[in-house]
Structure 1
Amino acid sequence: MNDLFVHLRRSMVNDQIRSRGITDERVLLAMEEVERHLFVPHDLEREAYHDSPLPIGHGQTISQPYIVAEMTALLRLRPGDSVLEVGTGSGYQAALLAIISGRVISIERIPEVARRAEENLRRAGVEGVRIFVSDGTAGYPEAAPYDAILVTAAAPSVPTPLFSQLADGGRLVAPVGDRNIQHLVRITRQGDEFLQECFEPVRFVPLIGEYGWQE
């Protein structure tokens, strides 16, 4: 079975990600290393490497592998970067961020989802991730500033507190739009200026919180 998952993982990287233009070798190697099937419900393990999102319970999903890869690549991570993730979900995205950067703080608003993510990360043998249960739209100022911030749920706009938690030269990536369709945006801080770029349309579950959507 392990050999099967290794094959599926390599095929996922080559056929779904590399072939569609993702060239960041750190991202590709991390996705080949992290065992995605450990981050989905047991009955969905064989579907973990399909080109689609999957439900993980509590109305949450693990995103399509290509979108995970694209968002990670847009962050332009470097080893040693301090990373904030808003929306832990399954823990899979946090695992990739930790493999590349080494240290991740991830915020999850649903306690049961956070607990399962911690279990998934332990099973996968991934270290360097600290998960806190709170309103992720407020960020985590205690450990700011961050070299990279990734928002993994759909926001009506980038949550205001995250701007001040981004380091000079830092990058923030988020899906921004309405509840039905969003676009990936990347914001790069240059001193007191925040430069915004817009990328492809996506569809995520809503970001719930004080600076997101109301539940």
Structure 2
Amino acid sequence: MDLEQARFNMIEQQIRPWDVLDQEILDLLAVVKREQFVPQAYAALAFVDMEIPLPGGENMLPPRVEARLLQDLNVRKHENVLEIGAGSGYMAALLANRARHVLSVEIRPELVELARQNLANAGVTNVEVAEGNAADGWAVAAPYDVICVSASVPELPASILSQVKVGGRIVAIVGTAPVMEARLITRVSETDYKVVNLFETLARPLQGASQPSRFKF
């Protein structure tokens, strides 16, 4: 496989047509090597428009979904990010290139080790991968400038909403199959949030997420 041609095709044929037009994001996708974060058995699928299986029954999100979430979060260099669901570490690596620091929390021990190894191999030094259940957030280092939920949740818990700073942003895929949508939530005051529905998609449910709705907009 011509990796660079496959990467170029991914960016130009999948990602750009999905309204990812920020050139810095497109350049970043060319720099962070997605194939380094894909399990060896699926290396040939690194640039394909699909979820890629990970150990423990988890998946990597399709490249176009990762890119849209990254673009809409608009992470800045001084910001601290919480990622819920480390997976293979790829989204953390993308976030880390935009942020000051990323704390990525993963419930599955095998994925904690995989993400740490992948990030180390890629030379990413401003990501901490912690093991634990962050389905209700991760209060230890709260509040955060940005929170990225790298899986789907039935509803976004109030505990996660409370852990983002005023002016901060959260992205999450909210709903249950067959109806889910990616949302960008901006905290505009201590009590108010602005919600933008970004696009419809499907994603594997976040492990450990509670089912009842505890917060309604």
Normalization by structure 1: what TM-score?
0.92
Structure 1: runs of 5 or more not aligned: none
Counterparts in 2 of 1:142-157, with a 5 A limit?
142-157=140-155
Deviation, structure 1 residue 186:
1.1
* Cross-structure match for 1:182: 180
Write out per-residue CA displacement over residues 32-65 of structure 1, whole angstroms, 9 at most, x where no aligned residue: 1111111111121121011111111211111110
Q: Percent identity of the aligned residues?
A: 34
Counterparts in 2 of 1:166-177, with a 5 A limit?
166-177=164-175
Deviation, structure 1 residue 179:
4.2
Write out per-residue CA displacement over residues 118-177 of structure 1, whole angstroms, 9 at most, x where no aligned residue: 111112222211011111113222222211111111101112211111011001010010
What amino acid sits opposite 2:99 in the alignment? S
* Structure 2 SS opposite 1:152: strand
Contact persistence 1:107–1:139 (CA under 8 A): no
Contact persistence 2:18–2:68 (CA under 8 A): no
Deviation, structure 1 residue 101:
1.3
* Cross-structure match for 1:55: 53
Q: 1:141 to 1:134 in 2, by over 3 A?
A: same
Deviation, structure 1 residue 205:
0.9
What RMSD over aligned residues (CA atoms) do the two structures have, in Å?
1.6
* Cross-structure match for 1:21: 19
Counterparts in 2 of 1:75-90, with a 5 A limit?
75-90=73-88
1:114 equivalent among 112, 133, 142:
112
Structure 2: runs of 5 or more not aligned: 213-217
* Structure 2 SS opposite 1:153: strand
Q: 1:163 to 1:20 in 2, by over 3 A?
A: closer
| Structure 1 moving runs of 4+ over 3 Å | 210-213
2:9 equivalent among 8, 11, 26:
11
Contact persistence 1:171–1:186 (CA under 8 A): yes
Write out per-residue CA displacement over residues 156-213 of structure 1, whole angstroms, 9 at most, x where no aligned residue: 1112211111011001010010144311111100112111111211111111225458
Contact persistence 1:176–1:184 (CA under 8 A): yes
Write out per-residue CA displacement over residues 2-31 of structure 1, whole angstroms, 9 at most, x where no aligned residue: xx2223222211221123321122321221
Normalization by structure 2: what TM-score?
0.91
Deviation, structure 1 residue 102:
3.2
